[in-house]
Amino acid sequence: MDGNGPEADTVISSRVRVARNIEGIPFPYLASDEQTAAVQEQVARTVADSEDHFSQFCYQRIAEMSRQEKQVLVEKHLISPFLSREAHNGAVLLRRDEAVSILINEEDHLRIQAILPGLQLEEAWQEANLYDDLLEQSINYAFDECYGYLTACPTNVGTGLRASVMLHLPALIMTNKINRLLGALSQVGLAVRGLYGEGTEIIGNLVQVSNQITLGLPEEEILRNLYGITRQIIEQEQQARQALLNSSRIRVADRSWRALGLLHYARIMSSQEAMQLLSDVRLGYDLGIITGLDRKLLNELLVIIRPACLQLLAGKVLSVEERNLERPLQIRNKLSRFKEAV
């Protein structure tokens, strides 16, 4: 994620995902191994027949991947934890730039997702919709004239569309305004989750906001509603940041610089501590307190501090204690390119 998208100082990324199932085949959790294998084969055949459109994709069967390879994709939000652990005959089609991935035999037969940097919901929808349309040319989707696209989870029935934004909201959290915001979002039908979705806590001041209603609303309205609310959240976060600067500029600067110092010189660091320190540095960078860094680097650090990515970089399996030693080492290696930070 290059960090250069619209509103990148608050919006880390935008994601759009559509859920689809194949007519005449039970949902994956009800299907036999033979039926889920047939789904795999049908998708693979469709991709092969549309080689011009899928030439930039790599097809990987989940069963043929190592545990570490699967977890790296989870940490990058390219596949779901469910697909990595529980899917029968699961697979993923991954575009080389990692902006688009197609999950096969997850909770639904197909989940097509696009992730773009910054606030780009409409653009992410166009990416996902392109490949949805290409697949639908050869695959008969399960569709009901009354309910729309049929999905394994009733909350996805209708458009099958889930749109979300990953937000960095340090000022709203530091000024204790976040709970009121979360309550308001719930009242308008939006879900709020942590970095890795449902069931995960908010760490590093990162908040994921997504739609919950997919039935009875066209895709454009779902996206427009989330976009409008995201703009309001951005405005509230910017106001909270300005209030912090006006009342506590020295304290904010001290917090940001202390965080950068720890990232440079600490020798033992947990994932949770690293997330919080990166949040403090990002806030300092976005407020113009710290210069000489860039958001692409900060986004890379958010990924490489996770367990599987750390072990991939280290080239071996690491215990928790070993990961806590490896993490600051990898952070220092990345930051060494930006010693001019002042």
Contacts of 231 (CB under 8 A, 6+ apart): 119
Does 340 have pLDDT greater than 60? Answer: no
Q: Using CB atoms within 10 Å of the CB of residue 8, give its burial: 0 to 12 exposed, 13 to 18 middle, 19+ buried.
A: buried
E strand intervals along 150-234: 161-168, 190-193, 206-211
Q: Give whole-number Cα distances, 33 to 25, 29, 64, 89, 119, in Å.
A: 12, 10, 16, 7, 40
Q: How many residues does the chain have?
A: 342
Look at 172-181, 229-238, 277-286 and tell me which has the smallest mean pLDDT. Answer: 172-181
How far apart (Å, rounded) are the C-alpha atoms in residues 204 and 186? 21
Q: What is the pLDDT of residues 43-68, one digit of tens each?
A: 999 999 888 899 999 999 999 999 99
- For the segment 292-300, the average pLDDT, to the nearest whole number, is 93
From the centroid of its chain, how far is CA 75?
9
Q: Which helix (H) or strand (E) holds 16?
A: strand 11-20
340 or 169: which leads in pLDDT: 169
Q: What is the pLDDT of residues 132-168, one digit of tens each?
A: 999 999 999 999 999 999 999 998 899 999 999 999 9
Q: Give whole-number Cα distances, 115 to 95, 128, 130, 248, in Å.
A: 11, 9, 14, 35
Q: What is the pLDDT of residues 258-287, one digit of tens each?
A: 999 999 999 999 999 999 999 999 999 999
Does 93 have pLDDT greater than 90? Answer: yes
341 or 75: which leads in pLDDT: 75
Reported confidence tier of residue 79, pLDDT bands at 50, 70, 90: very high
Task: Kindly report the number of other CB atoms within 10 A of residue 16's CB atom.
Answer: 28
How far apart (Å, rounded) are the C-alpha atoms in residues 264 and 266? 6
Name residue 100's beta-bridge partners.
114
Does 37 have pLDDT greater than 60? Answer: yes
| Residue-level pLDDT at 254 | 98
User: What residue type is 307 in one-letter code?
Assistant: P
Q: Which residue has the tokens 């703009």?
A: 231
pTM of the predicted model over 0.85: yes
Residue 290: HSE in the Cβ half-sphere, 13 Å Cα cutoff:
27
Q: Which helix (H) or strand (E) holds 271?
A: helix 271-286
188 or 86: which leads in pLDDT: 188
| Residue-level pLDDT at 155 | 87
Q: What is the pLDDT of residues 310-326, one digit of tens each?
A: 999 999 999 999 999 99
How far apart (Å, rounded) are the C-alpha atoms in residues 338 and 214? 44
Q: What is the mean pLDDT of the chain?
A: 93
Does 215 have pLDDT greater than 90? Answer: no
How far apart (Å, rounded) are the C-alpha atoms in residues 122 and 225? 12
142 phi and psi angles, rounded to 5 deg: -75, 115
From the centroid of its chain, how far is CA 126?
17
Reported confidence tier of residue 1, pLDDT bands at 50, 70, 90: low
Q: Which residue has the tokens 């030693």?
A: 325
Q: Give whole-number Cα distances, 306 to 7, 67, 107, 115, in Å.
A: 25, 14, 25, 19
Reported confidence tier of residue 341, pLDDT bands at 50, 70, 90: low
How far apart (Å, rounded) are the C-alpha atoms in residues 243 and 225? 27
| Residue-level pLDDT at 342 | 46
Contacts of 288 (CB under 8 A, 6+ apart): none
